[in-house]
Structures are given as C-alpha cells and as structure tokens.
Amino acid sequence: MTNPTCTYCSAEAVYTRDYEGVSFCSKCFRHALEEKVRRTITRHDMLQFDDHVAVAVSGGKDSLTLLNLLIKLETHFPMSKITAISVDEGIKGYRDEALEIARKACEKLGVEQVVVSYRDLFGTTVDELSGMHLGQTPCSYCGVFRRKAINRAAVMLGATKIATAHNLDDEVQTVLLNMLHGDPWRVMRSSPVLRDPRGKFLTRIKPLCEIPEKEVVLYAYLSGFDFQSVACPHGNEALRNDIRNFLNQMEWKHPGTKFTLQKTTEKLRELLERTAPVSQLNECAKCGDPTPHQLCEACLMLNAIAS
Ligand code: SF4
Ligand code: ZN
Ligand code: ZN
C-alpha cells in the first residue's frame, strides 16, 4: 500500500488530519500549524505589537513549540519582547533534566530565561508535599503553585502578557474535569485569554489552545526539538487519565469531538461571563492575587500545609 500524498503539494504525506480530511507532508504540516496558531492569536486578539511576553517554558514539547512559534512571530514585531520563565517544582530526577533542556533551548534561541523555584517562593517542593497526605493530589498543589510562581516572575520582569502552552487536549480535559468537580467558575477561568478589564492582573494567553496534542508532538518532532519525554513521577491524576482516555476514544470514533467540545465551552463561557464577569474578581486578602473568594487557592493551600 502506498502512503497518501500531501493535499497541498503532492509530496509524500506524513500525517492525515482526520477531522478535516486532509493530508500533509512535513513542510506543509509545519506551515499549516504555524498559520493555525497565528489565526488563533488574531481571533482572540492575544498579542499587541509592543507586548513583553513572559512564556512559561518547562522543557516539554508544548512549551518548546510555543516558544519557537512566538519567536518566529516576534521577528515581525521589533518592539515586542519575549522572556522565558521556567519553574522548578522540586521533583528530583525529572525537573532537573527538563530545566537543562529549557536552558539549552533558550540559549540557542537567544531568549533570556528566568528560573523560579517552589522552594524559594513557598518554602517547600512537590516531592515534599507528595509525602504529606494533604488530602489532594500533588498535581492539585503543583498546578496552583505554578500559576502563582509564573505570575510573580512575570510581574517582577515587567511583562505585559503571560503565555502558556496548553493545547486542545489539555483544554477540553480541564473543562470536563472542572464540570465533574462541579466548578463552573474554573471552566470560565480556563479560557484561551483571561484578561482583567481593570488592568490589575496580567493577561494570560494560550496560543496553542486549538492544536491537538498529537499535532504538537509531531511539530516538535519534525522541527527537531530536543524535549523532555519522561513523565513526571507524581503525574497520576486518576480522573484526568480517565477523561483523557474517554476523549481520545471519542475523537477516534467521531473525529472533531474535541473541537466541538471546545466550541460549546466557548459559548457557555460567554453566557457565564454575563453573570460572573472576570472584572468582579477580588484581590486575595493575603497576597493580592486574583481570586473569586477572600483568599486565593495558593494561600489557602499554604495555610493548610502550615497547619
Ligand atoms: Fe506537577 Fe503533576 Fe505536572 Fe508533576 S504531573 S509537574 S506534579 S502538575
Ligand atoms: Zn506538502
Ligand atoms: Zn493569596
């Protein structure tokens, strides 16, 4: 059996996008993905010509793809600036390697890299927290602390935007996860762009939110990026794993399922925004970060750890 040919140039195809019924050679695939990210950025008005973007770079395929794509885009906007922020959660044998990969990638691209650690910011590490039986998974703590660490570093740098590398799969998994946790507020907060109309909190953007995970992997692979492929030893969220498997099965049987879920969620967010606008967020009484409550999640968690 011969391989399919590229729909756009007739070269040998390396990938078929089932949800669109088109095949790509390596070159056309990379071009199509870059164009798609460009369109996402424009559609959601994610970037301005003079932004200083703080990009969260972990050393994984998603963040290295994002960093490379934003650098490509930046060449058209001489007044913009990009700084990488890497977070050291304190996960022995895992994060050390990823940080080194991130460091080398930033060096190669000529991007300044700032590293912040949970140890310095919160006085603890994910390895330590995982042994404390705190009633939540290490990922729960880790995710909340990472958001806070990136926010702190971005503010310190004087950045105007924070870019994170969440892909389509991350996004729709999180939607279902939050629905199953009964938390509509979080469904709203995980939108592709989260901006505070009062300008008190830094705008967060997710330029890869419309790219399926397997396409990010393929892009990183075809681009020859060196990225960390080892999984985190604490990353075993049972519910998220079930949701991931369910969504992958649905996508396989019904191509386009993930996009449909994302679009439906976008519509729901618009409705939710009318009843609970982001502008109504409070400042955490302890640290000043945005929160719908009196204390932000990170401060609540830090209180629980200290008690
Ligand atoms: Fe943190 Fe969980 Fe990711 Fe590991 S898998 S780095 S614990 S969020
Ligand atoms: Zn082609
Ligand atoms: Zn707080």
With CA atoms as reference, report the closest residue to 227 among 113, 139, 143, 104: 104
Higher pLDDT, 129 or 198: 129
- List the residue whose alpha carbon is closest to atom 5 of ligand 1: 235
8 Å CB contact between 59 and 47: no
Which residue's C-alpha comes closest to atom 2 of ligand 1?
139
**pTM recorded for the entire structure:** 0.93
Residue pLDDT, tens place only, 41-82: 999 999 999 999 999 999 999 999 999 999 999 888 888 999
Cβ(47)–Cβ(80) below 8 Å: yes
For residues 24 and 17, what is the distance between their CA atoms, to the nearest angstrom? 8
Count CB atoms within 10 A of the CB of residue 75. 8
Report the nearest atom of ligand 1 relative to the CA of 236. Answer: 5
pLDDT confidence of 288, banded at 50, 70, 90? confident
- For residue 52, with 0-12 CB atoms within 10 Å meaning exposed, 13-18 middle and 19 or more buried, which class applies? middle
Sign for the pseudo-dihedral over CA of 202, 69, 214, 8: positive
Pocket around ligand 1: residues whose beta carbon is below 6 Å from it? Answer: 89, 126, 138-139, 142-143, 232, 234-235
Average pLDDT, the chain: 91
The span from the CA of 298 to the CA of 307, in Å, is 14
Distance 139 CA to ligand 1 centre (A): 5
Q: Which helix (H) or strand (E) holds 143?
A: helix 138-157
Look at residue 197 and tell me whether its pLDDT is greater than 80: no
Q: Which ligand is nearest to the CA of 230?
A: 1
